[in-house]
Amino acid sequence: MILTRIALGVGLLFVVSLVIFWATELLPGDLATQLLGQSATPETVAALRAQLGLNDPAPVRYWAWLTGALTGDFGVSLANNRPIADLIGARLGNTVFLALYAAALSVPIALTLGILSALWRNSIFDRMANAGALGAISLPEFFIAYILVLWLAQTGFFPSMVRINPTTTFGDRLYMTFLPALTLTLVVTAHMMRMTRAAIINLMASPYIEMARLKGLSPLRIVLRHALPNALAPIINVVALNLAYLITGVVVVEVVFVYPGLGQLMVDAVSNRDIAVVQAIALIFAAAYIGLNLIADVLSTITNPRLMHRR
Amino acid sequence: MGFAASVTLGLAGLFALAWVLRAGARALLTGHSRSIASDMPLTAAFGLLVIVIYAFVAIAAPLLAPFPERDIVGTQFQAWSADHPLGTDRIGRDMLSRLIYGARNTVGIAFATTALAFVVGSLLGLWAALTGGWLDQILSRFVDALMAIPALIFSLLLLTIFGTSVLSLILVIAAVDATRVFRLARSVAQGIVVMDYIEAARLRGEGAWFLIRREILPNAMAPLVAEFGLRFCFVFLSISSLSFLGLGIKPPTADWGSMVRDNATLITFGDVTPLLPAGCIALLTVAVNFVVDWQLYRASGLREATQ
């Protein structure tokens, strides 16, 4: 069961790497002419073609790119000829740090809010939480980010720009990245909370919960001991999906806070049309996305014996 | 916090106006349209009102705006005054005028993109469901593979390849969103193509285009219309995000996303002006969501079930 799912995930990743690579082949003409523009001389085009290895057939180039990527060698940037692995190196760590930070904030908040609003269904608290969630989903990330800057950075509580260097201590880092992490938290909490609430309310209608209620157990105990374990599978799924969503949210938020992460690097690379860097980062993001979905499926299979021993 | 108060007051005013209009509609209309108006929740009335106002501003932009969209009419970063109600931007263009023209540019481009994504995605989806077999398999697996890449990341990849212009922005976002529309249209149509009347039409010898147009589409309309609203929100937000990142609609064209980016430095000085375009984006998304919520509620027949 689990092994087939993992094999499927790896297969999907392979297909996605194909898509990312072949996207460049979609161009009318070729990449070199496209990058240099109409006015380029044939010599410069030929030179760039040689540099990009465009003279090899596509499958050969794909194989070289994929095997390189697997060993951490993504080739060189088209913009400044530096190895992409060097460009990505520290930034990957920063982005992972920010995403984990946001996850550590948002998952407990979302689960607590979700459980509480399921417990006090249709109360004022539930309505407020739901309205807030709907609102937060509709707002662009940069809007939330700038409102936080206006309220929290303007008043001097937190810095509005993140300057990280190797000497920064862990505590300082937590303090400096608080606003970006909080922005991401606000963006993903809403969806997680609503799904947690829906999963628990769905279960609360089942007969064994009614039995527990008739035994006279307290509502909190019913939710925590009886409903929550069975709601774990959908909740894990939603948490993983939202962590995967953090990956795209991170791009905008990093730009707002001038955070030295992968998202910022990718945006710069897109405006420079540095396709090699963009492909490398897209592959990393897609791999993380597929990996998180894979982990979600595996975990929800493990938590549910019925899925574990199907047929 | 005078600004927060005036925003709250403005929203409350809009809600009150929506309430009055709904009451007016209940009193004046008759028959079917009256029954629609009478069970419309206040949030939906508010959403409709906001959408109508945006549409009006977008159409009448040249009449409403005090200055042309691209003209430099003052010094940079002027404060709010009688001449420039919302001040001026980074190079001295009138903020209010650009905000008004932004309704036309940003919303118009988002609307065109959604429409394109819809035509392509739903036609392919309906066709795949109708034909089945290998065509369905190829299209569905292809869409699955594309959807395994996060939408924003895939858009960024495509924008690198095709370059950042408004046309490529529209095409790229439409292509990415068409995959989502395809999924929905296909799954809706799959429930319809097994119906007897489709079989009957097939036996009559009707072609695929007739079946899609006359038999499937009318029956798949309700979920597709709701999806159009939701999709518009997603497209609108992703276009704004890309413009904010400097990869979408670019100055001098007035656009809400890039206006935020251009004037963001003001925020660190405690000026709220750069937040106004972002607020315009947020208000429209919330309004569309309210209306979609109401439509889904009506389509699902929940109202009848509870009565």
* Structure tokens belonging to residue B112: 């065109």
- Residues A65, A158: one domain? no
What are residue B44's phi and psi, to 5 degrees? -70, -40
Q: Is residue A176 part of a domain?
A: yes
Q: Which of A40, A182, A167 is nearest to A101 (CA)?
A: A182
Here the CATH number for the domain that contains residue A157 is 1.10.3720.10
Chain B interface disruption, residue of A12, A17, A146, most B CBs within 10 A: A146
Same domain, A60 and A165: no
**Which range marks the domain in which residue A228 is found?**
97-308
Contact B18, B42 (CB under 8 A): yes
Helix spans in chain A (H): 2-22, 31-36, 42-52, 58-70, 84-119, 124-138, 141-148, 170-176, 178-204, 207-214, 219-221, 228-256, 262-272, 275-303, 305-308
**B232 versus B302: which is more confidently predicted?**
B232
User: Is A248–B158 a contact, with Cβ atoms under 8 angstroms apart?
Assistant: no
- Could you tell me which residues come within 8 angstroms of residue B122 by beta carbon, excluding any fewer than 6 positions away? B181, B182, B185, B220, B224
Which residues in chain A land under pLDDT 70? 26-31, 34-35, 37-38, 52-53, 154-156, 160-168, 307, 310-311
Of B146, B151, B233, the CB nearest to A248: B151
Q: A146 and B245 in contact by Cβ < 8 A?
A: no
The residues in A 288-307 lying below 8 A from B, measured between CB atoms, are 289-290
Taking residues B79-100, report their average pLDDT: 80
> Is A149 within 8 Å of B267 when comparing Cβ atoms?
yes
A12 — contact with chain B (CB < 8 Å)? yes
Cβ-nearest to A150 among B150, B267, B282: B267
Tell me if chain A has a CB within 8 Å of the CB of B168. Answer: no
Query: Each residue of B166-176: pLDDT tens digit?
Result: 888 999 999 99
Task: Kindly report the nearest CA distance between residue B282 and chain A, in angstroms.
Answer: 5
Q: A62 with A196, same domain? A: no
Task: State yes or no: pLDDT of B35 exceeds 80.
Answer: no
Q: Nearest by CB to B282, which of A138, A279, A286? A: A138
Question: Residue A233 falls within a domain, yes or no?
Answer: yes
Angle, helices A84-119 vs A275-303, to 10°: value is 40
User: A53 and A102 share a domain?
Assistant: no
What type of residue is B203? Answer: L
Q: Minimum mean pLDDT among A257-271, B34-48, B94-108: which range?
A: B34-48
Indicate yes or no: CB of A146 within 8 angstroms of CB of B264.
Answer: yes
Q: How far apart are CA B88 and CA A155, in angstroms?
A: 25
Question: What are the chain A neighbours of B244 within 8 Å (beta carbons)?
Answer: 140, 142, 252, 255
Shortest CA gap A28–chain B (Å): 10
Range in A98-107, A122-131, B46-55, B297-306 the model is least confident about: B297-306
pLDDT value at B304 more than 60 = no
Residues A140 and A286 in one domain: yes
Helix axes B275-299, B95-102, angle to 10 degrees: 30
Shared domain for A154 and A13, answered yes or no, is no
Q: Is any Cβ of chain A less than 8 angstroms from the Cβ of B160?
A: yes
Q: Do B145 and A150 touch (CB under 8 A)?
A: no
Q: Is the domain of A42 the same as that of A107?
A: no
Given CB atoms, is B57 within the 8 Å cutoff of chain A? no
Q: How far is CA B104 from CA A183, A277, B11, B51, in A?
A: 29, 35, 22, 13
**C-alpha of A49 from chain center:** 34
What's residue B75's pLDDT? 76
Any B CB within 8 A of A38 CB? no
Please answer yes or no on whether A139 and B154 come within 8 Å at the CB atom: no
Q: Work out the angle between the directed axes of helices A84-119 and A262-272 (0-180°, nearest 10).
A: 120
Residues A42 and A123 in one domain: no
Q: Is the pLDDT of residue B120 over 90?
A: yes
Residue A236 is encoded by which pair of tokens? 């894990």
Task: Give the pLDDT band of residue B302 (cuts 50, 70, 90).
Answer: very low
Q: Residue A116: name the closest of A4, A196, A47 by CA.
A: A196
Alpha-carbon gap: B29 to the closest alpha carbon of chain A (Å): 31
Task: Tell me which DSSP letter residue A224 carries.
Answer: I
Number of domains comprising chain A: 2
A contacts of B285 (beta carbons < 8 Å): 138-140
A160 near B CB under 8 A: yes
- pLDDT at residue B303 in the model: 42
With beta carbons under 8 A apart, name residues in chain A contacting B148.
Answer: 12, 15-16, 286, 289-290
B279/A contact by beta carbon, under 8 A:
yes
Cα–Cα distance list, B225 to B170, B219, B235, B294 (Å): 21, 11, 15, 12
Q: Which residues contact A11 (CB under 8 A, 6 or more apart)?
A: none
Contact A251 B245 (CB under 8 A): yes
**Same domain, yes or no: A173 and A291:** yes
For residue A91, tell me if it sits in a domain: no
Please enumerate in sequence order all residues whose Cβ is within 8 A of that of B13, keeping only pairs 6 or more positions apart, or say none.
Answer: none
Q: How confident is the model at residue B19 (pLDDT cuts 50, 70, 90)?
A: confident
Burial code (b: 16+ CB inside 10 Å, e: under 16) for A269-300 equals bbebbbbbbbbbbbbbbbebbbebbbbbbbbb
**Do A28 and A162 lie in a common domain?**
no
In a domain, A278, yes or no: yes
Residue B306 clears pLDDT 50, i.e. is over it: no
CB B172 within 8 A of CB B118: no
Query: Which tokens in the block code for residue A17?
Result: 């790497």
CB B186 within 8 A of CB B125: yes
**In order of start, what are the domains of chain B with their CATH numbers?**
69-300 (1.10.3720.10)
Assess if residue A89 is contained within a domain.
no
CB contact under 8 A, A247 and B240: no
Say what the pTM is: 0.85
Which tokens hold the place of A192?
């997680």
State the DSSP code for A160: S
Between A46-55, A287-296, B93-102, B237-246, the lowest mean confidence (pLDDT) is in A46-55
Closest CA relative to residue B257, chosen from B68, B46, B102: B102
| Structural domain includes residue A133 | yes
Q: Which H, E and C letters describe chain B, residue by residue?
A: CHHHHHHHHHHHHHHHHHHHHHHHHHHHCCHHHHHHHHCCCHHHHHHHHHHHHHHHHHHCHHHHCCCCCCCECCCCCCCCCCCCCCCECCCCEEHHHHHHHHHHHHHHHHHHHHHHHHHHHHHHHHHHHHHCHHHHHHHHHHHHHHHCCCHHHHHHHHHHHHCCCHHHHHHHHHHHHHHHHHHHHHHHHHHHCCCHHHHHHHHCCCCHHHHHHHHHHHHHHHHHHHHHHHHHHHHHHHHHHHHHCCCCCCCCCCCHHHHHHHHHHHHHHCCCCCHHHHHHHHHHHHHHHHHHHHHHHHHCCHHHHHC
- Rounded distance between C-alpha atoms, residue A122 and residue A118, angstroms: 9
Determine the Cα–Cα distance for residues B177 and B112; give it in Å rounded to an integer: 12
Quick check: B272 and A271 CB within 8 A? no
A12: tokens are 């999907």
Q: Which residues of A97-114 are buried (b: 16+ CB within 10 A; e: fewer)?
A: bbbebbbebbbebbbebb
Is A85 contained in some domain? Answer: no
Contact criterion met (CB below 8 Å) for A242 and A106:
yes
Verify that A294 and A212 share a domain, yes or no: yes
Q: CB contacts < 8 Å between A and B, how many?
A: 133
* Same domain, residue pair A183 and A53: no
Distance from CA of A310 to the nearest CA of B (A): 25
pLDDT of B307 over the 50 cut: no
Q: In chain B, what residues touch A279 (CB-CB under 8 Å)?
A: 157
Of B109, B169, B263, nearest in space to A146 by CA: B263
> Which residues from chain A sit within 8 angstroms of residue B264, using beta carbons?
146, 256
Q: B162 near B243, Cβ under 8 Å?
A: no
d(CA A87, CA A262): 9
User: Of A12, A140, A286, which is closest to B153 when you measure between CB atoms?
Assistant: A286
- Buried-state track B237-258, b at ≥16 Cβ within 10 A, e below 16: bbbbbbbbbbbbbebebbbbbb
Greater pLDDT, A152 or B58:
B58
pLDDT of residue B112: 93
